[in-house]
Amino acid sequence: MKENIRIIISGGGTGGHIFPAVSIANAIKELHPEAEILFVGAEGRMEMHRVPAAGYPIKGLPVAGFDRKNLLRNIPVLIKLFKSQRMARKIVKDFRPHAAVGVGGYASGPTLKVAGSMGIPTLLQEQNSYAGVTNKLLAKQAKKICVAYEGMERFFDKDKIILTGNPVRQGLLNPTTTREEAIASFGLNPEKRTVLILGGSLGARTINQCIMNNLDKVKNSGVQFIWQTGKIYIEEARAAVARAGELPMLHVTDFISDMAIAYSAADLVISRAGAGSISEFCLLQKPVILVPSPNVAEDHQTKNALALVNKNAALYVKDADAQDLLLDKAIETVNQPGLLKNLSKNIAELAFTDSANVIAKEVLKLAEKYKEEHGC
């Protein structure tokens, strides 16, 4: 009897890695409903509960990131890496995948390295405009590398590169709610301009502090705000709002479960410059002010932001300047319909549709070829 196709998907650490990974898995299942998919993540990280919630099994590795500032702290990290490679080898041997996919993040290193060394075809998905260290190390073994930005031959063999864009969360496209209904669902006025402030699942310290320190500007702006603080900052944010008095133009929450509604409500978005978020803004044609996080490897968020800014597809405020400039810029921008229209038009031109499906087809091609060659 012919065996079902088996695929390992590895990586995670942040929502930016997990959402695309789950989107790819869902696309594989749509194309091949009988396919067996196993995720491999990092113990204690977000993927260990997000992936099972999406309906897929996951194995955890004790892997951790390197401390680039204090090299002595990396001795335990190396021990964990060695242990993770041993565990990854057992996972790959037991599951016997026909292909392995790496989406970046700690766990994809040992998993894809082991899979590649055992002759299993590997595909990398690089989300950023500046390639991550893990993917650069894995690129030599990889059969295909799916990227979201032009010019990635700086990092990878151009013959392996496929320009696919980043998969986004399902459910964001084709919203069923109108802008007016979406705004009303947050208890705000549908007739007013609305700014959506995103802090990510954990929160963006600079963006949150900027709002907390400028609630008088929020109050007098004539604009309304949906402010997603992230779980770390919600109590501090609520306390600041309570001190400021009545703020009917501000909706504060730590988490937004239905991002499609939040995006429908927004005339302008303020966000960090993670690759997954940018892909969503492109597909949804959302005008955005990007505030790149300075606390990421190779400053890749600034590079992501500039890729849009250089095409007049987004506005950009440095993290160090946000306290003084961000809120004023947002209020000024959201009151300029012509500028919003141009930003929306330009960012839409950078969108990739159907990215998850395109990547899934490439994964299945590799898996089917492997099955055929190995008679399994």
DSSP for 157-226?
-TTTEEE------TTSSS-SS-HHHHHHHTT--TTS-EEEEE-TTT--HHHHHHHHTTHHHHHTSS-EEE
Checking if the pLDDT of 376 tops 80, the result is no
Paired strand residues for 253? 228
Q: In the numeric block, which tokens belong to residue 218? A: 């929020």
Q: What count of other Cβ atoms lies within 10 Å of the Cβ of residue 75?
A: 9
pLDDT digits (tens, 9 = 90+) for 179-226: 999 999 999 999 999 999 997 665 589 999 999 999 999 999 999 999
6-166+353-374 and 179-348, same CATH topology:
yes
Is the domain defined by 179-348 classed in CATH 3.40.50.620?
no
d(CA 260, CA 342): 22
Q: Is the dihedral of CA 330, 332, 336, 342 positive or negative?
A: negative
Q: What are phi and psi of 227, to 5 degrees?
A: -115, 110
Q: In terms of pLDDT, which residue wins out, 2 or 277?
A: 277
DSSP state at residue 297:
G
d(CA 54, CA 56): 6
d(CA 9, CA 99): 9
Contact status, residue 74 vs residue 67, Cβ threshold 8 Å: yes
Contact status, residue 122 vs residue 115, Cβ threshold 8 Å: yes
d(CA 227, CA 253): 6
| CATH superfamily for domain 6-166+353-374 | Glycogen Phosphorylase B; (3.40.50.2000)
* pLDDT value for 62: 87
d(CA 272, CA 282): 14
pLDDT digits (tens, 9 = 90+) for 347-375: 999 999 899 999 999 999 999 999 999 97
3-state helix, strand and coil shares in percent for the chain, rounded to the nearest 5? 45, 15, 40
DSSP state at residue 56:
-
Q: Where are the domains positioned within the chain?
A: 6-166+353-374, 179-348
pTM given for the model: 0.85
* pLDDT value for 202: 59
* pLDDT cut 70: percent of the chain above it: 95
Q: In the numeric block, which tokens belong to residue 100? A: 């392995």
Contact status, residue 132 vs residue 138, Cβ threshold 8 Å: no
d(CA 286, CA 78): 42
* pLDDT value for 67: 60
Q: What are phi and psi of 102, to 5 degrees?
A: -115, 130
d(CA 350, CA 83): 41
